[in-house]
Amino acid sequence: MLQVSYIRENREKVLERLSVKNFKQPEIVDAVISLDEERRQTQTTLDSISAEANTIAKQVGELMRQGKKEEAEILKSRTVTIKEQIKTLSEKLNKAEAELLKHIVLIPNLPHSSVPRGTTPEENENIFEFGDKPALYAGALPHWELATKYDIIDFELGNKIAGAGFPVYKGKGAKLQRALINFFLDNAEEAGYREIQPPIVVNEASGFGTGQLPDKEGQMYHVGVDNLYLIPTAEVPVTNLYRDVTVKEDELPIMNCAYTPCFRREAGSYGAHVRGLNRLHQFDKVEIVQVAHPDHSYEILENMSAHVQSLLQKLELPYRVLRLCGGDMSFTSALTYDMEVWCAAQARWLEVSSVSNFETFQSNRLKLRYKGKEGKAQYAHTLNGSALALPRIVASLLENNQTERGIKIPAALVPYTKFEWID
């Protein structure tokens, strides 16, 4: 959530930066400024009248101590009017604050100055590529056929149990999942991240804190009876560890990682591009999350990107790094890098990680601050990234490493799988 004071003092700059994200509703920005002015004026009047009420209360008390009951009663009669005014102003203030919040949550985060303009994924900026695309043997199969051939992933059985998008991993398929999770967690720990095992359901306050609510409630699974949401990513519970928290400046950066299953409804997703593991409703992911000092957050973003790339290099997967254009960025992000791996049998790039800096957008919602030596509390920056999401990594490993004998496991993963081949 943007800070109201910044919007008020930088209206034209805010509108210019929002245009990069194709935000075309200046009336919402103007409504925020107008409602903020109403809120501030009401608050000033309320504070003045409340101060007057406190003064009168002291005067009444003093008159009563002096035995001047009649004068005290006359003065007390004034407080009746003041109480009505305070009640009216408080109601007006609450209404203005509610309307202000209603409007400001509709405004996305401002994109960083390096974010290119654009409206579609095709306009993302390709900034780096690594590795050679493998040449497959004649008769190579897409991963969903390989999964059936080697009996390691059963999509039909998952469909029977839960529905499309909930595969069942079996045998070496299940072991490969577990191996990747442990591989990613161990690498995160070596990079300085502390492992967290958070809840996989969150309340509304947590969803609001990281920006999933009210923006993405249609994409989240909702447990209606308890009003809880299944998490779309570990970013939500891990970042919310610091909701309503003020940390010390010398504690920054705070580095956490977590493995969780993730749940996304993916409403409206259909077609060939969602076959097999390409898009699921339930999947496993290791997430890295940092709380950072604003002066260092973009350096940290580059470090997080480098960490994700190191994982892809160890897995011997060809990949590219994209800087997302404004139209392809999330509502909450100021700058996002996507990492895409080449999936050889499908002959297409698949996104496997997004690494983002949210600047103060989440911390303002979370009331997450840091306090320096001078004692002033300021909003921290929050960052997160997938390191990594498993489904498309598995799809790429299966497709890229298939041979006529079977599927060869990358050397870095063998200590975790305890096998070199799926055959």
Specify binding-site residues for ATP. Answer: 264-266, 351-354
Helical packing angle, 297-314 and 172-190, nearest 10°: 140
Q: How is residue 276 written in tokens?
A: 């097999």
Q: How far apart are CA 220 and CA 212, in angstroms?
A: 9
Q: How far apart are CA 149 and CA 155, in angstroms?
A: 12
Q: Which residues pair with 196 in a beta bridge?
A: 258
Q: How is residue 192 written in tokens?
A: 């300085």
Please give the annotated binding residues, written as ranges. Answer: 233, 264-266, 287, 351-354, 384
CA-CA-CA-CA dihedral for 16, 326, 304, 167, to nearest 10: 150
Q: How is residue 164 written in tokens?
A: 């499309």
Q: Which single residue is written with the structure tokens 């390409």? A: 278
Q: How far apart are CA 162 and CA 358, in angstroms?
A: 34
Q: How far apart are CA 153 and CA 157, in angstroms?
A: 9
Residue 271 has a CB neighbour count (10 Å cut-off) of 8
Nearest to 392 by CA among 231, 313, 279: 279
Amino acid at 94: N
Q: Which residues pair with 343 in a beta bridge?
A: 348
Nearest to 242 by CA among 381, 107, 353, 389: 381
Q: How is residue 171 written in tokens?
A: 């045998």
Decide if 113 contacts 310 (C-beta within 8 A).
no
Q: How far apart are CA 145 and CA 399, in angstroms?
A: 10
Please give the annotated binding residues for L-serine, written as ranges. Answer: 233, 264, 287, 384
